[in-house]
Structure formats: structure tokens, C-alpha cells
Structure 1
Amino acid sequence: MGWPTTGTEPVELLVGQLFDVLEMPADAGRAVLRRLPGTGPVALLRAGRDGNRRIERPKLLMLIAAGGAEELPEILEWLEWGALAPDLGARGAGERMPAPAVPTYSAAGEPSSRGFGAREAAGWLRPPRPGRAAENSLPTTGIGAGIGDVGGAPDLIRLVSAAATECHRARLLRARKGQSDRADGDQPLAFSNASRMSAGTRPRSFTL
């Protein structure tokens, strides 16, 4: 696809040049994909090793416009999420992500193979489209950004709003099922939607 890589084995994509990455647990990410069908390329990172990090559960990696990772903390503060969405992160300049296999396409331009190869840590859920430059078809902010204004992708603020909401909901659901996240050093689940509404601290993202 002509994207910059580390040139090592296993192959990794360099982040921060053509795109940044929005990262979240797979259960929350799949809910975001149902809400926002035009996000752009999305990869699934399976549990295991990711460079020097240990991934305890699968994650979704959503490609966003370069520079978006730097904007994430301010967007979360503006949406009144702050530290209440600890599962939502980003990879920006100087970072990398596992490289999924290059997708193949049918004569009609539809992806004809997906998933993981034998040595791959990540596979495409929504592969990049042929002939569409990554930097021109990804969620972004700024002049011209808006729902459907950038290659059919939602603007970055709307994407982050949906992602923060679904990350919070997924944590509450896992806690209800007894799947504690405390072993990873995450903060306790102290706020339900109802309690935050009664306290007047519900984030705007619940109303978008």
C-alpha cells in the first residue's frame, strides 16, 4: 500500500506520518463501528504481545488523520470525559502498530480476504480501499471537518465522543459480569450513567 514500515520482522506500520491511531477495547470498538459505519480503515489487534507491551484483551485500532492523537486529551476534556475513559487511547508520531496483511480485492473492488495471517498480531476489520489515500479519507478536525465531509468519515470529535461512551459502557458491562480491570491498575468504576445524571456530571457525549 506504500505505507511506511519499520522494515523488520514482524512488520510494523509507522504511525504519525500518514495516519494516527485511536485505540480501544474490541467490545467497545465494535459498538462504535455499528454506530458509525464510515470510520475508515480499522484493524483488530488480538491479545498477546504488541512490541514491549502485553495486550490482555483484543483491541480495535481505528486509523485517524495524522495529528489526531495529539488532540485526543483536549477533545476528551471538552466532551467532559477527562480521565473517565481510561480505555481510550491513541498512537501518534514516533509510535507504531502491527501491520495487518495487505488486503486483496475482487474485480468489483470489494475485499476478498480478511483476518489474521500465521504470524500477524493484527488483521483488518475494515481494510483500506484501493485508490483512496489514507490521509484524505480519515476522521479529522478543523476546517472542512464534519459528518460525511471528509471522505465519508465522521469528524474526529464525533468519533471520540462515541468511542468514549462505548468504552465507559463496556467497562460497566464487564464489571457487572465480574471481569475486573483493577489488576491492570485502572481506576474503579465509580460512575454509572444514572448517578452521573443525578449529580449533574453526565458528559455531553451521552446527548450527541
Structure 2
Amino acid sequence: MARALPRPRSPLAAVRRWYEEEMSWPTTGTEPVELLVGPRFDVLEMPADAGRAVLRRLPHTGPVALLRPGRDGNRRFDRPKLLMLIAAGGAEELPEILEWLEWGALAPDLGARGPGERMPAPAVPPYSSAAWAPSSRGFGAREAAGWLRPPRPGRAAENSLPATGIRAGTGDVGGAPDLIRLVSAAATECHRARLLRARNAQSDRADGDQPLAFSNASRMSAGTRPRSLTL
């Protein structure tokens, strides 16, 4: 007969326990709880406006979290970010993929977190069947992050993450897209969002009467970058 596990004493302890026991994802011993990046997954990081556009283009991406403005470790940021979980090792591949896609420095807002880094642990998804899992009500108001596309417990959580090579998928029939396709979409949307923010900022300064002048590089927007936009 299985022995009932003791109930964690606090919501934070319950969050840590869910990730460690249900997901087998290592966490920090700090408060608030953070997930260790690298052992099980890496993270693709981008502004939320660009990330939401990626989610509309790719209906199956694997788990995605929204990071609210504030402080994340030693960094402070004013705009929300999207954190997309990718297969372990993907962060190391990102610079090479961007160069191959001919994006290079054109997508400065697209980054990655790999081994040795961490991310805030979002609240336990509401579908959790663990009797000791905390309710999201009353716990998520001050959270640094929340799931937009939550993970599912079990080994499939890692197997469904965007990757390259034999594990790569298409993202069209329930599986996550290959990492190259995801990076291509993310770089495109990061560039579009940056141009739109710059255009809106200049329009505000000029009361909407003066068009924004772009460099040759920044003019590579939708429809003019055939290689990246067709992957």
C-alpha cells in the first residue's frame, strides 16, 4: 500500500515539489523557486509581443511561459518576455542557427538560456492531479512567471521540445516544430516587433507626420527576406 506523502507546508514548497517529483526538473533551494536550465531543457527568450506572434504562427511549440516585467536575477526589464522551452543543448546551437538563417545581429532581442542559468518557476498548472499542489487562486498575483502553454508530467515533456536532428518535428500535427523553424519564426517576429516599436516611437515624437527612416539592414522585413521567412 502506497504511503501518503506529507503535505508541503507552504505554496512555494508545493511548487518546488511538483517540479521535482512530477516533472523531474531540478529547482533551486531559493525563494521564489527557480528552475535550473540545462539538465532537462534550454530556453529561447524573446519579447512578449514577438513571442505571441510566434505562438499564432506555430500552434505547437512545447511549453511556453510568460515572464512579467520586473527583476530576473541581476537583470531588470520593463517589458514582458516569453520563455519557450527547447531541447537541452539548443541554447548552444542558437548563434550558429541565426548565422545560417542570415539573421546574425538583426535579431538582438532573441536570446537563449542554457546550462548554469535559471528561470522563475511558474505556478503549478491547474490540471495537476497532485492532492498537495497549490491552487493558482491567491498564489499567482505576485508571481514572476506563468504558463501560457504548460508542460505535461512524464518523459514526453522533454521528448516534445523543439530540437534539431532526428528528434526534429514539423509542428503541424501535434508535435513541436524543429528548432531551426522555431528560431526562424522567432527571429522574424523579433525583428518585426522591433521595427514596429521604433516606428511607433518616432511617430509619437513627430505626431505621426514624419516617416521612420531605416537602415538597409533594418528594412529587411516581412516578404523581403526569402530564406528566413520560407522555413
Matches within 5 A, 1:97-112: 97-105=119-127
Q: Which moved more, 1:130-139 or 1:164-173?
A: 130-139
Q: Can you list the C-alpha shifts for 1:84-121, whole angstroms capped at 9, x where unaligned?
A: 00000000000000000111218999999699713410
Unaligned runs of 5+ in 2: 1-22
Alpha-carbon distance, 1:144 to partner: 3.9
Tell me, in whole angstroms, the C-alpha distance in 2 between the residues paired with 1:103 and 1:22: 21
- TM-score, normalised by the number of residues in structure 2: 0.75
- Rate the CA distance shift 1:181–1:159 in 2: closer, same or farther, 3 A: farther
Distance 1:107 1:61 in 2: 25
- What is the rounded CA distance, in whole Å, between the counterparts of 1:65 and 1:115 in structure 2? 32
SS at match of 1:71: helix
The Cα shift of 1:55 comes to 1.4
Q: CA-atom RMSD, angstroms?
A: 5.3
SS at match of 1:28: helix
Q: 1:204 to 1:48 in 2, by over 3 A?
A: same
Alignment partner of 1:14 out of 32, 36, 48: 36
Structure 1 CA distance for aligned equivalents of residues 56 and 169 of structure 2: 19
Is the Cα contact below 8 Å between 2:123 and 2:136 reproduced in 1?
no
Give identity over the alignment, percent. 92
Check whether the contact 2:106–2:218 (CA below 8 A) recurs between aligned residues.
no
Tell me if the contact between 2:41 and 2:87 (Cα under 8 Å) persists in the aligned partners: yes
Per mean C-alpha deviation after superposition, the further-off stretch among 30-39 and 123-132 is 123-132
Counterpart Cα distance in 1 of 2:219 and 2:226 = 8
Q: Distance in 1 between matches of 2:119 and 2:213?
A: 32
Change (3 A) 1:146 1:166: same
The Cα shift of 1:196 comes to 4.9
Pairwise CA distance, 1:51: 0.9
Q: Which moved more, 1:13-22 or 1:2-11?
A: 2-11
In 2, the alpha carbon distance for the partners of 1:51 and 1:94 equals 13
Change (3 A) 1:67 1:197: closer
| CA 1:107–1:116: 2 relative to 1, 3 Å | closer
User: Distance between the aligned counterparts of 2:114 and 2:136, measured in 1?
Assistant: 28
Q: Which runs of 5+ in 1 are unaligned?
A: none
| TM-score, length of structure 1 as denominator length | 0.83
Contact 2:58 2:171 in 1 (8 A): no
Distance 1:122 1:91 in 2: 15
Structure 1's 8 and 41: CA in aligned 2 closer, same or farther, altered over 3 A? same
Q: In 2, distance between residues paired with 1:63 and 1:78?
A: 21
Distance 1:111 1:151 in 2: 29
Which protein is bigger by CA-based radius of gyration?
Answer: 2
